[in-house]
Structure 1
Amino acid sequence: MVEAKKGGRPPKVTREEIVDAALKVGLDRATVRCIAEELNVTSMTIYNHFGKIDEIIDYCIMSIINDIIHNMIDSDTFEETLEKIAIKYFDLLCGNHTVLFRVIDGNVFPAGTTACVNTLISYGTSRGLTPAEALFALRSVIHAAVGCAVTNMSLRGDTAAPWIDKESAERLGSVEAPELDNLKLALMDRTLNVLDPLAGVNVALHGLRAMFGDRMKSAAAADSSVLSGSP
């Protein structure tokens, strides 16, 4: 909690303190009002740093994911690393209805998701994979990660998810519930809408680098041959 200063001046808070407060409150219950109360500041103080609650939630999610990425264990296989990150990411998405509805209804993922995917692709290429192979590995773990996140949501008794009405809420413990299948398919579809264009861009860039890299090597070899007087 941030202590108020004497003289009635509002206390100063940082973006990091706001994010920490949001995580403490819980992403499933985080609102500007709740975060302000946790920090003992006004809602306007929060709005001075973030335009709306969506931005705070996005920042929280990507901060958690980026922390996981930066602490990746090299001894794990690339697929194991991707699986851990993907499960956590989708678990966070399903843990907040505001974020989940934005993804499902508007195909709007948390800011920073694209940069996160590019980081993972770079990580894969640093371990000897091509961008296409890294994307294929990422796509391969998404289905399991989405299924795990949606199942976790159902086990929490979360009945406010899309397509889940009061009558079908009693069946939420069953992964076979049609409403859960719809949610999984929608999340998969939205995610691939993000990944597929990235796949094309990254593979194209990799091809360009390889092509120009080979040309540069050939040119350098030719120059060296001329300088040495070799035929």
Structure 2
Amino acid sequence: MPSPRRRPKGEPLIGRPPKITRDDIITAVLEIGFTEVTIPLIAERLDVTPATVYRHVPDRATMLSLAWDRVVDSIEWPALEGNWHDVLLAYGDCLWNALAKHPGVVTALSSGLMPERTMDIFLGLAVHLEREGFPMPDAMLLIDTVIDHRLGLEKLDGHTSEPGVSRIEMADSWKPREDETAALQRARAAMRDAVLMAPRQWLNRKLALILDGGERLRERL
């Protein structure tokens, strides 16, 4: 009886093609959304077993990080050249809009490491700010302050699976009290109005304050 043929070294294995790819998993995550997605849910959507999904991604955190990396790669980021103020604002705007299109992503990723492509964005901005005259520690501080991560916003607007107070409930907790001084009533009213303000409007006010401070910081160097 002839012996079975040996596979020559370097010859690829012949077998059934994989049922799914990592790209299929990432696409499914983006279709389902970051808030509720789980590996069993991805498996059900792709008509495979969870074990098949685990062959491509080791855990849920990695799966979500890879999905967000695809989002980051799809963004048309501004060139890292020109006035630092304008560049930083443009990058903050791009990231804000991307996060708004994927509600729940910040909360979903908050328990893990920063995704690689997001880290690349921070590093590129930091190098640009250093070229513009900022010491690197101040550059990273400015980026971390300006690049709003929307974590509190997602919780207030119910974009997480975790229980929490609503925006209205939070605003009501700051309602002015009749037994307090006029100054305290004004302070409570200001915070209540901030909670109810359109999130982007509040962000723009913060950015104006932060960037003005950044300019003064650089002028002192």
Task: Give TM-score, length-normalised by structure 2.
Answer: 0.53
User: Hey, what does 1:3 align to over in structure 2?
Assistant: none
Structure 1 counterpart of 2:105, from 95, 109, 115:
95
1:87/1:161 Cα in 2 relative to 1: closer, same or farther (>3 Å)?
A: farther
Q: Provide, for residues 53-103 of structure 1, a one-character-per-residue CA deviation record: whole Å limited to 9, x for no partner.
A: 1110111123212432xx213489212223124535766684365433x2x
Aligned-residue Cα RMSD (Å) equals 3.6
Matched, 1:110 2:131: no
Give the letter for the 1:82 counterpart.
Y
Contact kept, 8 Å, 1:32 with 1:46, in 2: the verdict is: yes
For residues 99-152 of structure 1, the C-alpha deviation after alignment (integer angstroms, 9 at most, x for no partner) is: 33x2xxxxx4334243442133234456x454456424313314xx24x55224
Structure 1, unpaired ranges of 5+: 1-8, 103-107, 182-231
Q: Report the alpha carbon displacement of residue 13 of structure 1 after superposing the two structures with TM.
A: 2.0
1:130-183 C-alpha deviation (Å, 9 max, x unpaired): 4456424313314xx24x55224422x347447x3xxxx3x43366578xx9xx
Aligned to 1:213: none
Identity across the alignment (%): 19
Give the Cα–Cα distance (whole angstroms) in 2 for the partners of residues 88 and 129 of structure 1.
28
Is 1:51 the counterpart of 2:58 in the alignment? yes
- The corresponding residue for 1:186 is none
Cα separation, partners in 2 of 1:122 and 1:140, compared to 1, 3 Å: same
CA, structure 1 residues 97+150, in 2 after alignment: closer, same or farther (shift >3 Å)?
closer
Equivalences, count: 153
In structure 1, how many angstroms separate the alpha carbons of the residues matched to 2:115 and 2:30? 17
- Asked if the contact 1:95/1:153 (under 8 Å) is kept, the reply is no
With over 3 angstroms needed to count, the CA separation of the structure-2 counterparts of 1:78 and 1:46, relative to structure 1, is same
1:26 to 1:125, Cα distance in 2 relative to 1, 3 A = same
Cα 1:82–1:135, aligned 2, differ >3 Å: closer, same or farther? farther
Paired residue for 1:151? 153
* Aligned residue in 1 for 2:176: none
Q: Give the TM-score, by structure 1 length.
A: 0.51
Alignment of 1:53-92 (within 5 A): 53-68=60-75, 71-74=76-79, 77-87=86-96
Correspondence for 1:119: 124
**In the aligned structure 2, how far is the partner of 1:154 from the partner of 1:118?**
30
Give the CA deviation at 1:12.
2.8
Once residues 50 and 22 of structure 1 are traced to their aligned partners in structure 2, the CA distance between those partners, rounded to angstroms, is 12
Q: 1:24 deviation in Å?
A: 0.6
Gaps of 5+ in 2: 1-15, 174-190, 192-221
Contact 1:79 1:137 in 2 (8 A): no
1:7-64 deviation digits (Å, cap 9, x = unpaired): xx67532211210111111111211111112222222221111111111011112321
The answer to whether the 8 A contact 1:22-1:35 is kept is yes
